Structure 1
């Protein structure tokens, strides 16, 4: 059971003592900051006192003020250094926690989140804590200490004048609080209005080609203009409701207002003999600075709110369930891969797989076919433990997949996905991911067999070229790099899904040749979208609604005249092209295939040997052609 998302105090726990030290130093610095003003007030008493001036006292007060400034600087620098060092350690520790957790979550967790979402948690949300720890807490400390200590001193000087001084402060804070409450109340409406106008803008920009093609520019522009008008009307009304209390609060809290209040109250008290004239000096000097921290507190409050939201998102990642690992990992022996009553649901409500029974015999090819959403990719993703099944068991050589260490799983299985991800590293490093101890000769041999070696040697630094800098690959070339990785891994089980999905026509043949080399002699699980690519498979498994509805060879399934037979007929119709007749849409193919009209050559067949001129394979037993694989 996952823990509750970590709150901001929990994330700050490792640096709590250093933060306390920084806040203490900042508090002392804030107290010493008002020392020069107190010194001026005391000098006024000395200089305005009856009789000769007490020179020693005057110079003592001046010296103490200068010393306080130097000591304040020392405490201020200490607070800043301690808070920044603590914040740096906090970012490092949180990133280590996040990376450690992400290393242990199920791989399927990433499939439901884009790279941007992971980057936001690891980078942006962690950085959002920087200003809070390094700046906002110190600013808040000073914003609280300065007015409180100032008011305490002023009450000590003259409590009546202090009460008069607080009149604009109390009124201003009340008005400011009213403004803040109105601001927070309308935030959801502001978010909705922003979403409305952003959606209209994105829709207009993304659809501009279609809009212009059909002459609907004016209509599309009108929709965006109407959304902008709605936002402007809302924003104008919202701002109008805030202008008056905000303006009044800033006027009441302004320096002229505070000074006028002090002078007015002081004049009244002095003329009635209730206050000495020199007692007015500290109020004239210090009262003006009492109201300034109110704005600082309001800005810091926003930063605290943003940091809390970021901390909650970080906590949600840290609370993600880890993939359970065996305490005593087992070792899988040789044998089949079996699915025994496997059921799975992503959300616990909608079942993606239900009671799947499947055997992948060593050295055979199993093809998964079925309509979109049948559960083909989900079934294949359970093999590398992207997820664990909710029901049933997956066994490798008779051993439960959950009893194997991840390293053991990846020694037994390799995968070629349709969406190839290359690291921003050298080409060699990208290939060595499959087997870090491989020699340069083994890396280059795998690249040659994957038909990508020549392309790599054309790069400025060959295998030492960096992807994204001086090495850029097309979809087909990246796919062949992925195949070279799988060749280096040299595992007995291979899972393929749309291996030619991003290959251009020129490189598709090279990808097919590379796949022929890769699949020779292995146990294959193929997710098929073009039925012609798997008709020679040892077994074809038809999934529909997460259940196995049919299984058998191509001929056996055709003889059943069931789901597969209907899919095959639709596939054949999609490959027939008659001059003058409408082309068949790929949407007619319930397999979701990318088959192009006119493709009747049967050149999809992937074999361990060479392809003869009649389309048959020579030099090896027939193998299924695999054009689209995981």
Structure 2
């Protein structure tokens, strides 16, 4: 079983693979020389010619053969390690480049958890294919031919009998290959689905606890884990059964070789030393193929993982735009925009709106009404929509991604900070920013005081920003967004799930930015939108009304109902 595409992708590592096979063959040759040397000693002893000269020479020869075998075996292991590391680098680079080519819309085609699983565990499985299976496959072809050439001059019938049994092992492998391929495809499919479910439930654990649905989800995960356990057990059963068959062939073939050699010796057609050599070398005919068989299941797992990797690499890439945005007065026009994540279930339906440069625009509505989807559209993070989204007269799909990223920045509900220093995180917004400018952005985001108290720009950010509160993390993410100089800032529920102090700081910042930049605020909390130049209200994916806060309150529509309900709730809390 050879995965041609995987071999072609890793052709840069084939030099290491071939070198590994060559060193394995040298180790085999050293072993054959050692056996033949011992056989010659047996002959000398039987014929009464054994003396001190024979003893010293034999010991020296044996030491040389053992040294060569040790060095060759070690060199083969080194080559295998290099090919393993090399193929991992090749595959991870290919996946990384593919994700960059897909852009932010990659999540429409594949889940983040599957990307992590395939880039981690999947590539580790492929590593064994290159480091173990592929070299062993080539060596298992070369070793029996070499041994046949050694044994045939001594006894052709025995050599033919041994070499005739060797193909029985790959035949046993081929017999289980179809079953193994189906099982491993099911294994990887359920492995990915279990990972998706675990990540989704972990991310939504707070919501599940609030709605008391954690017990139901726990039971659902138990059922998924049990299904994965069953398919894993079927894979292991198949592997153990095939190993038993291969062991029977290997040991039976070696026993046949010994039986034939003893028969030839008894018939006087074979000398004692030749019979001794054949008996010792009989197992060597089958050991390479037996080892290949033990690697076969690992290779099948690696091949199944490679199929998942190639499925990602074959995902259609969006056509990259070439147009660039210029200036800082680019209006945003959305016309007849419709979009669905799943065919037949529209998230946005025939949405049309206009955003003036430098204006403060609010987008609101109930959860699931399409607000965040529209925000993602403005940043070019989704594809496959109908209608048009234009910035400065250019279709978003036609704008160069780099240029779009320079002009539109989204601050999400929970921004991400990377493990490292605060300076390293902020410089992602502007790699050339001075410390003075960094502090200016922090001050604008109301984050400079706690930053100075925590050690300044060199303060450490822990993994997942666990050493910061939600509000602190969000204000640092906003400071990074301010450093980009983007003309349009989209705050997608940026003040949700933060403390009151941080929410007020973010609201004050948004008011300050109005006029300097185009600010789009996506929020379910209407108090944050009161001062907006225009508020667009969404309901079930449709834009149902637009206007200022005052206009919408007196209009008596959906906005007025949301405003009254929130106002009464807040008054009741007070």
Q: CA deviation at 1:507?
A: 3.7
The answer to whether the 8 Å contact 1:31/1:146 transfers is no
The answer to whether the 8 Å contact 1:486/1:518 transfers is no
Q: CA deviation at 1:473?
A: 0.9
How has the CA–CA distance of structure 1 residues 422 and 259 changed in structure 2, closer, same or farther, with 3 Å as cutoff? closer
The answer to whether the 8 Å contact 2:184/2:235 transfers is no
The answer to whether the 8 Å contact 1:105/1:323 transfers is yes
The answer to whether the 8 Å contact 1:29/1:72 transfers is yes
The answer for the alignment partner of 1:456 in structure 2 is 451
Query: In structure 2, what is the Cα distance between the partners aligned to 1:6 and 1:370?
Result: 52
TM-score by length of 2: 0.79
Deviations 1:83-142 (A, max 9, x none): 444444443344334333333322132477665444444444444333333333334444
Query: In structure 1, what is the Cα distance between the partners aligned to 2:62 and 2:228?
Result: 58
Question: Residue 380 of structure 1: SS of its match in structure 2?
Answer: helix
Deviations 1:307-328 (A, max 9, x none): 3233333333433444544446
The answer for the alignment partner of 1:498 in structure 2 is 493
Q: CA deviation at 1:163?
A: 5.4
* 1:286 to 2:281 alignment: yes
Query: In structure 1, what is the Cα distance between the partners aligned to 2:255 and 2:293?
Result: 25
**What stretches of structure 2 of length at least 5 have no aligned partner?**
none
Deviations 1:382-402 (A, max 9, x none): 222113463333332334444
Q: CA deviation at 1:420?
A: 0.9
How has the CA–CA distance of structure 1 residues 538 and 112 changed in structure 2, closer, same or farther, with 3 Å as cutoff? farther
Question: Residue 490 of structure 2: SS of its match in structure 1?
Answer: strand
How has the CA–CA distance of structure 1 residues 139 and 118 changed in structure 2, closer, same or farther, with 3 Å as cutoff? same
The answer for the alignment partner of 1:106 in structure 2 is 103
The answer for the alignment partner of 1:468 in structure 2 is 462
Q: CA deviation at 1:494?
A: 1.9
The answer for the alignment partner of 1:30 in structure 2 is 28
Mean Cα displacement is larger for which, 565-574 or 11-20? 565-574
Mapping 1:358-397, distance limit 5 Å: 358-388=353-383, 390-397=385-392
Mean Cα displacement is larger for which, 147-156 or 294-303? 147-156
Question: Residue 489 of structure 1: SS of its match in structure 2?
Answer: coil
Question: Residue 338 of structure 1: SS of its match in structure 2?
Answer: strand
CA RMSD of aligned residues (A): 4.8
Q: CA deviation at 1:381?
A: 1.0
**What stretches of structure 1 of length at least 5 have no aligned partner?**
578-595, 602-630
Tell me how many residue pairs correspond in the alignment. 563
Question: Residue 291 of structure 1: SS of its match in structure 2?
Answer: helix
Mapping 1:221-232, distance limit 5 Å: none
The answer to whether the 8 Å contact 2:324/2:404 transfers is no
The answer to whether the 8 Å contact 1:27/1:141 transfers is no
Q: CA deviation at 1:198?
A: 11
* 1:530 to 2:525 alignment: yes
Query: In structure 1, what is the Cα distance between the partners aligned to 2:304 and 2:228?
Result: 29
Question: Residue 495 of structure 1: SS of its match in structure 2?
Answer: strand
Deviations 1:551-588 (A, max 9, x none): 33345445655xxx2453255245536xxxxxxxxxxx
Query: In structure 2, what is the Cα distance between the partners aligned to 1:231 and 1:92?
Result: 31
Query: In structure 2, what is the Cα distance between the partners aligned to 1:425 and 1:242?
Result: 45
* 1:541 to 2:536 alignment: yes
The answer to whether the 8 Å contact 1:6/1:315 transfers is no
How has the CA–CA distance of structure 1 residues 91 and 491 changed in structure 2, closer, same or farther, with 3 Å as cutoff? same
The answer to whether the 8 Å contact 2:154/2:274 transfers is yes
Query: In structure 2, what is the Cα distance between the partners aligned to 1:162 and 1:100?
Result: 52
Paired residue for 1:568, among 560, 564, 572?
A: 560
The answer for the alignment partner of 1:303 in structure 2 is 298
Compare the two structures and name the one with the higher helix fraction.
2
Q: CA deviation at 1:35?
A: 2.2
The answer to whether the 8 Å contact 1:342/1:392 transfers is yes
Mean Cα displacement is larger for which, 297-306 or 328-337? 328-337
